Every structure is written in C-alpha cells, then in structure tokens.
Amino acid sequence: MEQVQVSVTVNGIRYARAVEPRRLLSDFIRHDLGLTGTHVGCEQGVCGMCTVLIDGQTARTCLTFAVQADGVEITTVEALGTPAKMHPLQRAFWEKHGLQCGYCTPAMLLTAVELLNSNPNPTRDEICEAMSAILCRCTGYQTIVDAVESAAGAMKGEAR
Amino acid sequence: MKPAPFQYVRPSSVSDALAALARYRDDAKVLAGGQSLIALMNLRLVKPAVLVDINRLSDIAYIREENGTVAIGALTRQSAVESSGVIARQCPLMAEAIRFVAHRPIRNRGTVGGNLAHADPTSELPAVAVALDATFVARSTDGQRAISAADFFVGLLSSALASKELLTEMRIPIWPAGQGWSFMEVSPRAGDYALVGVAATLQVQEGICQAARLVYSGVGVRPARVAAAEQMLLGGPANEATFRAAGEVAAGQVDPSSDFHATGDYRRDLVRVLTRRALMRALDRCKKGA
Amino acid sequence: MSAPPVKEHPTDLRWIGQSMKRVEDPRLLTGRGKYIDDLTAPHVAHAAVLRSPHAHARIRKIDASKARALPGVLLVITGAEAAEQTGPLPCFANPPVAQRCIAVDRVRHVGEAVAAVVAESRYIAEDAVDLIEVEYDPLPVVVNPEDALTSSGDAVLHPERGPNNIAHQRTLTFGGYDEDLRSADVIVRRRVRWPRSGAQPMETVGAIASYDEGTGKITIHANTSMYNYVGWLVAASLQIPAHKLNIIPTIAGGSFGSKIFTHKVLVLAATLARACGRPVKYIEDRLDNMTSCDNHGSDRIYELELGLKRDGTMLAFGMKVIDDYGAYLQFGVGHHGNAAAQLTGPYRIKSARINLTAVFTNKCQQGAYRGFGSEVNNFALERIVDAAAGELGMSPVEIRAKNFIRPDQFPYKIPTGNVYDSGNYQAVLDKALEMADYHGWRLRQDEARAQGRYIGIGLASCQERSVFSSTEFWFWNHEPGFALTSSPESVNIKVDPTGKAFVTLYSPFWGNSPETMATQIVAEQLTIDPADIEITYADTDHGSMGTGPGGSRYTVMIAGAIAGAATEIKRKLFKIAAHFLEASERDLELREGRVAVRGTDRGMTIPEIALQAYYFRLSLPDDCNSGLDARFTYDHPYTTQPNADRTDLGVFYPIMGHMCHIPIVEVDIETGQVKYLKYVAVHDCGTVVNPMTLAGHVRGGTVQGIGSTMYEHFYYGEQGQLVTANFADYLIPTLKEAPPNIEVGHVVTPSPFTEYGIKGGGEGGRMGVPPALASAIEDALKPFGVKIDTLPITPMTIRDMIRAAQQGVH
C-alpha cells in the first residue's frame, strides 16, 4: 500500500510523515503524533468526540483522511492550556462542573473556542446552537452552557 | 471501523480531475468534503478502489452573482454558504435551509456539490435546488453540459451524473423581488436527517397567490415537487385556509414509505402540517419584502 | 445482623457539603487523561472481531486461510480454537449459562463474536476480518419475548437448560396479598411495556493484555470495574491461577453500569495475547459496542395490578413480568432483586406479588444500566398509581400524599423485607410543587387549552435506593448457588513522613467523582487541606476488596472505609502525640492538622508526628510500630439474609434516597413534538458531600432518562437484526433535546446508618424521569384521552395516539 507524504502543523509544530491514504486523521493525531487528548467515539461523524480545529474551524477527524490535512494548521486541546496555566474556558468548565468523565471535554472546549473566536458575546441560545454539535452522556449539558457563558464573560474582561 | 484500502489520486486542476475520472470510471469516487462518503467508508458499506480528492480545486469554490444568476462552485463549503452575504440576499431559501444541515463541523468540511451529488432524498439542498429551478453544470473530458435540478436527482443516492462526470457548479436564478420563502423540517433530533422537510416559495400580489413552489424531502427516493398543491394555490387568497387545503392536497399526492424512524402515515401528517406552516411563514416574508 | 446502631452525625463540617472543584478535572480538561485507547505497550498488536450477521445459527465451517495469509496478520482464532485454552466467561446466574468470548458451535445474536484477528494495525485486522469465510446453518429466530415462552426445538437457545427459552421463572409473594386484594374496593390493572435501551457512554470498552514469559503472568489494562471484587473470575476463565493475573484499571469515559465487569473484553484480549505472543490491544468500536457489549437494559412486559380502598388507600401491588434477557444471563435476574428493594415505592402498600419470567431471545444480553431494573419498577408503579388516581377521581398529588410513608415511621420495612432507613417524601413533594409553581401552571394549562394549546404537568415520586447488598444477585434463584453476602469497599491511607496523605482506591473512575469524594472526606476526617492529599488507584496485585461504583453505592462506602482507616490513623496520631506532649489522650483534639492539648497551644502538627512515627522508633510508646498508615475494609452497614421461602428477602438496600420530578411540557399535536416549559427535580440523597457534583448526577441522569423515555431503543427486527446499531439510528439526546434548565432542589434526611448520613445519588434523575415525563405527556393529551404505557414516546407515537383518539379508535 503506497504511502503519501503529509506535512501538517499541529499546535504550532510542523510534522512531516508518510501515511497510508486511508489513515483517518483521528488515528494520525492520536497514535502517529501521540496527541491523545482528541478522542474517538463512533467513527461515523455523529458524536463529535474527535473534533479539532482545522485552520480555526471545527472538523470531525474521523471523517477526514490524514492526507487531506496536508498543509493545514490543526489545533487540538493540548494547545489550550496546562493544569498550571489553564485557558479561561478550561477554568470555567472546572468551576461550573462542565465535565464528569471528561471524554467529550476536549471537543466541547474546541467547539467553544470556535464560537467565541467569531462571536465573543454570544447569547445563551447561540451557545446552545454551537455546543449542540457534540454529544455528552454525563452532564445533561446545562453546566457546559453555563461554563461557556462564564468563560465568554471572563475573556471579554481579560481582553479589555 | 476503518475503511478498506484505496488508491489515492489528488489532482491539482479540474482538467486533471476529469482525466482521472475518465480513466477510473466506476472504480472511482470523488472525495470532496467527505462527510457522507467517509462515514460510509468507515462502515465498509462503500469500498471504492480509487478516491479522487478534489479538495485542491480552488477554482470551483466560489459564490458569484453574474448575469441574473447566482453561481456557486461545487467545492464551496456549506459553512461559506451559511455566512455569505450574497446568498442571504439573493437566495434566502438556501441560507435558511443550510442551517439544518447536520452540525457546524460537518458544514465546515462538507461541500455544496458533494451534498447534491450524494443525492440523499432526506437532505436539504436537493429539495432547495428543485424549488429554485437550479441548474447544475457537469463537466467531463467530453465537454460540459447543464442538467436541471428536476432531472438531476434520479433515485435513492443516485444522480444523473455519469461516472466520468464532475459536478462543478450550481446556478440559481436571481431571486424575484418580493418573493417569500420558508424551509422547515422535522427530524428525530436536532441536526439529524429530516423525516420530512419542505422548501417553499410564494409570490403574492394584493392578497392573491401568483406563484408557488412546494418541494419535499423525505417522502420518496428523490425530492418531490408537488405541482398539484402549487396549482391549487394559484389565483387563490393567500391565507391559512388556502394553505391548509394545499397541505391536504400535498399529503394526498405523496406516497412516502415506512421505515424504522417514521411510518408513511406520520410522514404524510408532517407534509400536511409543514406545508401550511411554511406557506404562512413565506407569506409573512412576502409582506415584509413588499 | 439486626439494625446497626443509629449514628450521630457531626454538624460542623468543613469540607463535606462544599461544592469543591473536582480533583479529577485538571488532567481531563487539558486532554491529559489516560483512557484505555491512549495507552500502548511495546510491540503491541491490534485485534478486530468478526461478528455474526445471523441472529441464530450453527457455525458449520470457518475458513480463515485467506485472512491468515494477509500480510501483517499475526493470528486468526475461532471459538473452537480459543476454547482449547480459555473456558466460559464468568456468570452470576445459578445455574450458570455458558457464554464464550468467541462463540463455539453456534451464534445466538447478531453481533456475537465468531472469530478474532490480531494484526499489526486495526486497519489490517479489519481487512483480515473481511476475508474470513463462514458457513452458517440458520436456526429459528425468536425476538418477541412472549414467543420465547413457547419456543421449542431448534428455537431453544440453551437446550441443556430445558425444552424452551424460559431462563428463570418464579413467583414471590410478600404479606397477605390475596387477602388484601379481596378487601380492596377497586383493583386497577394496566399493561406496561419498557423496551431495552442502554448506557452508551462516549467511550467504548477496551483492554490491553500481555503475557510475560519471564514471570508467567498475564497483565491486563482495562476500563472495567469490579477487578478488586471478582477479578479472579477472569483468571478462572483463562484457566490460570488467580495470582498469575494482574488487572490494572484505567479511567473510563463514562460507564453508567456498562463497564461494571467487562469480562468478555478482558478474557478475549488475554486469550489473544497468550496465543500470539505479543501484547494485544482490543478496543471495541461503536458497532462492536452496540451489538455485543453485553450492556442492554431491562426489556420488560408488565401486567400490573394495584388494589385500593375507595378513599385511595393503597393495599396491594402485584405484577406479572416477562423480562427479555437476550442470549445469555451474566447477572442472573439480579435486576429483579434490585427492583424488589423499592418495589412498593414511597407508599404504605402492605403486600405485593411478583410473578417473574425471564426469557432468552436472540438479542445481545442484558447488563447493568443506571437503575439496574429498579428504574423500570419505578415506571411501572408510578404509571399504575396515576391510573388509579384517574379511576378514583383523585389528583396525582392527592393520591401520593395520602399514601406516603410518614417521617415518623422510619426505619420502615416494606413488604419484600427491605428496609428504608429514613425519608420525608411529603417534604420532597411539597418542595417540588413549590419550585414548579404547580398550581400556577394548572391555571396556565387551562388558559392554554382554551387557546388550543396542549400543556402537560407531570409528576413522579420515586425511590432511589443506594448501596446494594450482594444478596440481590442470588435470592431469586431456586438454588442460591454462590450465595455471597459481602459487598465491601476498602481504602488505604498512608500519611508520609512529610505529612502528605496518600489515599489508594480499589475501584475505578467512571465520571463519578471518587477522587473528589475521597479528598473531601479524608480532609474532613484528618482536618488536613485537600491540596495535601494524593489519590491513587491500585491494581489487583495490590488491591483490597472494592466492589466499585454501581447501585449509587460508592460515596457511602468509601466514606465508611475512609472513616475506618482515618480512625486508625487518628488513634496512632493521638497515641504518639500524647506520649510526646506528656498529656492524656483524652485531653487532646485534632484541629486544622494539629493534635493539641485542649485549651492550650501545646501541640504537634501531623507532619511533626509523622516524622517521629517513621524514623524514631525508640522515641515512640513501646507498643507503637514505625510508620503511619492504615487500610480498612468497610462492609455494607446493614444487610441481612433472606428467609428460606423468600417471603422476606431480608435487608439488602436500606440506604434510601427519594426524588420528585415535575416536568412541564407543551405538545405540538400536529407533529407530536414535545417542548419543555419547565423542569423541576428535587432529590433527597441524605447528607450531600458535594452539592455541585450531585446536581451533575441529577441533571445527567435526567437527560439519560429522557433518552430512554423519548428517543432510545435497541430495536430488533423480525429476523433479529439490530436496526438501531449505530449512533445515527440509536438516538442519544443532544443538547437541544435536553430541558434548557433543570432546576435542582434538595431535601436532606440523613441516613442513620452511614458515615455522615450520606445516601447514594449517582443514579440520579434517570430513576424518576420516565414516569414523570410519561405523566406530563399524558396530562397534555388528556383532552384526547390518551394513555401512555409504552416507551419510547416518540413524536410519531404521540401523533398515532392523537390520530387514533380523533378517529374514535382506542
């Protein structure tokens, strides 16, 4: 099976790899690059666990081949922050109990990043619309919306 | 659920893409956004021997107003349609419908051409295309042809495209001034494929219906335009009673099959209700536009 | 064992009751949690499974030659080949039902494993799966549980058990049931259908197994629970001595019961690793999980009867229930033991009867799903209570208030023999009515009806039992079998020379908050700062008994274990401090991490005592050894044996929470779609350790309950095909299907039997949502006379019911 060269920037670091054309971007990020913060739930594009930002826009990595990522910039959850230095969204999810098992959390965070980048002042309805792209089985969603709302407020405050 | 192996071809021009399709014919599938195709491939329901990745063909990603039409390149991402000022002004039915397509991440990658060529009768854009009398441009190594939306959707997941043809553009006539519109659908959950959807347009003058389009998704193997319901509106008063009657006619004209998610009877109920509600909303927009 | 003494609970609590941010979160928030698929092993190989397309068939022939020849394939193994080294899977039923990690001779449900492949990648393994050729001889398929009662011949799934597909049949009667029915003025009857849905966490089940030739030991990393309870059963299946197996837990991305004991995946992965000589990683994909994870929920048909006096006093509650267990019986009929814990709900019903028939059908077997069968009983009971209210012309509020067990009647023994420790059901109802503005909404409902709008107000008062006793697994059996009576939880606390507390748990993280619970409780017990506490998890090599999360038991049990271990530690702290301070232990107190003589400032901090304890043996009291750690195994605080004829099942689930849900909905009668106008959920889980995390279980459980009530169904077609086998067809609620604001209220009736009076609350809203929502929708459609007895309540079924009512057909 012939391999194809892929050059992709992930979290600011450029990687050059040879991959099988059928290798899913989710597997590439997780196993070839060792960035396991992006999760896999269905491999059918429904649940959203595998969400990353491709050139700033959310995308389901289980519905993308790694070869299609040649030349793009990918952001995964690992870029957002560390326990010592969390992104305001991570802090807000922590404060508002926006997670229980944590499996959907990276996808929720990146979806919120996309939303707040284009709309720093969303209404609660707009937050619900954006966040409804990702399934969560633990929280019942309400505290996730609370967290995004709270983060939006905090980020506006910090931007000033 | 990993896809089966395939040969990967990534042309950098439309002519290279056409050459590849001519070479591989039925062995090849076009990879655009991949949001429908890759899901099927992961389930191994589809195992193309060759994938022709057209994502480098930036020449066919555009939204343009020209000569009384709106031209949308096939590789235009659905999210670009969603945020396009041209579409909002010149094709508000599409602007409304596109928000029902799955979720934002799917629309970020999914393309207009890919969605149309996939020809899923529960999908939003095919119904919209038929309602707008859109024309599609199909190109191949033999040349180019135009296919009307009415002729494009042939059967379940089956379009009029030959295996060597590439859909490159969708053309929509400029929006008639004062025309009202509405796209509505009922789906099991937010973002799911519709059980039934309706794409409706309406033109009204002095309270009398002058023109209408009613096209339904989810009631057959292709988008269903119900001319009988459109006809009965013409010359009649634009009000709820008329629209209710149109809904009855439409429900009687369609013959939806039953599956796990919905019975034929329930789909008919939805046709009835959505017709009336969509026409009421379209009327409201006529008035606002006038 | 009689009732334990009533505990006095401390009132000035520093950490318990705080909505502390979770200890688990920082690593999860930053994508640094290590779930099973995030781990690897040197030279790891990957497995994929060939699954049966037939619901019932003999396996005539398997030709794996093409698969074996594919480059990158290390091993292809059939069920017969696996059976040469691996025995049947663990089974809690008695008599057990043989199940294999790969089917031998015949398959009994679509999705059952027929062969497994190990290859260099999952991609290649799946390519090889496609190349395996299997010849099947189809057998008759049984899908309808009522048909299973009369199956015969080749339609019988387990012929060695008997001539039909009845897995278990028994009737239990509690109290003077027949007599009570005879004295009833009214007997209300209802048929209710609860079809199977399932946990479906976002993460599937997985394992990495490896065999070390140097030590002869198999090690399995897995996202399972119960490894420190019955993990040795996996060794038994693998036919190795128990001490030659080590199971190492990982965190899990949700479970809700589905990962309670994932024996099949562990046994399969270990069998493959042993056979191919390399570590093997097997992660279920979503199709594997939905068809074959062994986690489908209860699947029941009830014929119910409730006998009452004309004034609404409930006398007797009985049922004939058929439960479709699918193809195997891994947990026996334990789900019905569970239901018996709160069979008669919060009401003073005097007697009961359960006529239970469990059947085999050609479906995936049932497992454990949040509620473990008692949520289904809640649904059945609340539906018939509503039916009775309707027949007697009473309001749903009236009939409940009239029959509630009163606060002064606790501990209260229900007809089945279980005891409810404490409660105040009227207070919970009152609070819910107030929060919901129930009477205001009744007025709005009338106005809306006049305008042709259909608003419905639902109500359910349900028990949420917590802390199961293991007797529920076997007291239904005709022969008890392994009649275990232990279901403990252990903890190890080590205070190190610098005064830091290392707390080792023997059960896993599922999304419940074991680390946070343990941190808050240890901080409370030892008066130290949460920042000085480190939580770790032990494998089976190092583990003491831990039954794990399930049945809302974990927080109660870990609190008891921590209290036990902390008591030991405090005893040593005081002993050493008394010695150094030359004071009497009676005069010492522990406060803010310091043992001091009361009323003075003479004292020693915990780090100071610890340093002495570790290194200065000759300065310690003579009868003190070096070190400062304690391990404690805490048993169920109150459980007793059933009696011989099972007219009294004993005490097995006494820590009794309660909830009242009031959903207010509007139904679009033209499309059948339902919208939430308000949602109130009041819960009584005794003393609450962390109100924020408890509210998380209430809300999350509520949305899961909405899933089972309105959207989710493992639907098998006539030929046993699982029609809803993927996330596109099996409809898990998205954000937009959830009520926008679930208003959570609390009432607290502490348990007299647990540490701090804590009661379990982890099963949360799911226990009460289905009847609450069913009653809300029924209430909205009252003008049509619609009765809801089946789930899921989809817009289509609502339209069907309205259409039928409008056409005068019922």
CB contact under 8 A, B188 and C711: yes
Mutate to test the interface with C, among B99, B261, B268 (most CBs of C within 10 A): B261
Whether the per-residue pLDDT at B272 is higher than 60: the answer is yes
Q: Is the pLDDT of residue C810 over 60?
A: no
The bridge status of strand C113-119 relative to strand C45-51 is antiparallel
Question: What length is written for chain A?
Answer: 160
CA-nearest residue to B55 within chain A is A68
Helix (H) or strand (E) holding C147: helix C145-148
Mutant choice from B7, B8, B29, B78 vs A, greatest count of A C-beta within 10 A: B8
State whether residue C310 sits within 8 Å of chain A by CB. Answer: no
| All chains having 3 or more CB pairs closer than 8 angstroms to chain B | A, C
Indicate the burial class of C776 (C-beta count within 10 angstroms; 0-12, 13-18, 19 or more).
buried
B4 → chain C, closest CA residue = C127
Confirm if A39 and A110 have CB atoms less than 8 A apart. no
Nearest CB to B6 within list A22, A24, A58: A22
- Rounded CA-CA distance A125/A139 in Å is 18
Percent over 90 (pLDDT), chain C: 99
- Mutation for A interface: C28, C692, C712, most A CBs within 10 A: C28
DSSP A31: I
Mean pLDDT of chain C: 97
Three-class SS of residue B51?
strand
Q: Is A68–B7 a contact, with Cβ atoms under 8 angstroms apart?
A: no
Residues of C in contact with A125 (CB under 8 A): none
Cα distances (angstroms) measured from residue C515 to each of C419, C450, C505, C519, C764:
30, 54, 8, 6, 19
Is the pLDDT confidence value at B46 over 80?
yes
Would an 8 Å CB–CB cutoff place A45 in contact with chain B? yes
Which 750-769 residues of chain C touch chain A by CB within 8 A?
Answer: 765
Q: Complex ipTM, two decimals? A: 0.98
For residue A2, pLDDT over 90 is answered with no
pLDDT score, position C633: 98
Whether the predicted pLDDT of C407 surpasses 90: yes
Residue B290: pLDDT band (50, 70, 90) is: low
CA–CA dist C446, C556 (Å, integer): 45
Which positions in chain A touch B51 (Cβ < 8 Å)? Answer: 21
Q: Is the pLDDT of residue C403 over 90?
A: yes
What pLDDT, on the 0 to 100 scale, is given for residue B67?
85
Q: CA of B175 to nearest chain C CA: how many angstroms apart?
A: 31
**pLDDT at site B249:** 98
Is A86 part of the contact surface with chain C (CB cutoff 8 Å)? Answer: yes
Counting one residue from A and one from B, how many pairs have CB atoms under 8 Å apart?
Answer: 84
Alpha-carbon gap: A131 to the closest alpha carbon of chain C (Å): 7
Query: Which DSSP helix (H) or strand (E) runs through C597?
Result: strand C594-597
User: A with C: how many residue pairs have Cβ under 8 Å apart?
Assistant: 172
Q: Which of B44, B109, B111, B115 to mutate to test the interface with A (most CBs of A within 10 A)?
A: B109
pLDDT single digits (tens) C155-181: 999 999 999 999 999 999 999 999 999
Segment B68-98, tens digit of pLDDT: 899 999 999 999 999 999 999 999 999 999 9
Structure confidence at residue C63 (pLDDT) = 98
| Sheet of B180-186, strands arranged across | B180-186, B196-205, B208-217, B224-225
Which of the two residues, C123 and B68, has the higher pLDDT score?
C123
Q: Residue C121 above 60 pLDDT?
A: yes
Substitution target from C19, C23, C27, C30 for chain A, most A beta carbons within 10 A: C30
Q: Quick check: C371 pLDDT over 70?
A: yes
- The answer, yes or no, to whether residue B289 has pLDDT greater than 70, is no
**Which residues of B are less than 8 Å from C731 in CB distance?**
188-189, 192
Side-chain-side CA neighbours of residue C11 (13 Å): 0
**What is the average pLDDT across C539-561?**
97
What is the per-residue pLDDT across C704-736, written as a single tens digit (0 to 9) for each? 999 999 999 999 999 999 999 999 999 999 999
Tokens standing for B40? 């099927």
Nearest-Cα distance to chain A for C31, in Å, is: 4
Q: Within an 8 Å CB–CB cutoff, is residue A76 touching chain B?
A: no
Spatial contact of C596 and C602, defined as CB atoms under 8 Å apart: yes
Give the one of B5, B190, B262 whose C-beta lies nearest to C796's C-beta: B262
Chain B, chain C: beta-carbon pairs less than 8 Å apart: 59
Q: Are C54 and C110 spatial neighbours (Cβ–Cβ below 8 Å)?
A: yes
Question: For the segment C411-427, what is each residue's pLDDT rounded down to a tens digit?
Answer: 999 999 999 999 999 99
**Four-point Cα dihedral B32, B36, B37, B43, nearest 10:** 160
Angstrom distance (rounded) from CA C464 to CA C657? 5
Chain A residue with the nearest C-alpha to that of C29: A90
φ, ψ (nearest 5 deg) of residue B202: -150, 135
Of the pLDDT bands very low, low, confident and very high (cuts 50, 70, 90), residue B212 is very high
Mean pLDDT of A104-113: 98
- B42, B79, B103 member nearest A44 (Cβ): B42
Spell out which residues of chain C touch residue B261, defining contact as CB-CB under 8 Å. Answer: 729, 796
Q: What is the mean pLDDT of chain B?
A: 97
Q: What is the mean pLDDT of residues C380-394?
A: 98
The pLDDT > 70 percentage for chain C reads 100
CB contact under 8 Å between A48 and B7, yes or no, is: no
DSSP letter for A30, please: I
Q: What is the pLDDT of residues C328-341, one digit of tens each?
A: 999 999 999 999 99
C339/C663 Cα distance (integer angstroms): 24
Q: Which of B4, B265, B273 sits opposite C670 (nearest CB)?
A: B273
Taking only the tens place, the pLDDT of each residue in C622-633 is 999 999 999 999
Hey, are the CB atoms on A142 and C200 less than 8 Å from each other? Answer: no
pLDDT of residue C809: 58
A102 with C511: Cβ contact below 8 A: yes
pLDDT score at A159? 64
pLDDT at A154: 96
- Candidate from B5, B190, B270 with C-beta closest to C671: B270
- Looking at residue C405, its pLDDT comes to 98
pLDDT confidence of A1, banded at 50, 70, 90?
low
Residue C107 pLDDT > 70 = yes
* Partners of residue B53 in chain A, C-beta under 8 Å: 67-68
pLDDT tens figures, C298-338? 999 999 999 999 999 999 999 999 999 999 999 999 999 99
In chain A, pLDDT over 90 holds for what percent of residues? 96
pLDDT per residue as tens digits for the range A82-102: 999 999 999 999 999 999 999
Determine the Cα angle at A26 with ends A22 and A30, to 5°: 115
Omega of the bond leading into C607 within 30 degrees of 0 (cis): no
Q: Residue A75: is its pLDDT beyond 70?
A: yes
Q: What is the mean pLDDT of residues C799-803?
A: 94
**Domains along chain A?**
4-79 (3.10.20.30), 88-158 (1.10.150.120)
Substitution target from B187, B240, B269 for chain C, most C beta carbons within 10 A? B269
Option in B39, B108, B191 nearest A57 (CB): B108
The token duo for C715 is 């639907």
**C267 close to C238: Cβ distance less than 8 angstroms:** yes
What is the distance in angstroms between the Cα of B27 and the nearest Cα belonging to chain C? 19
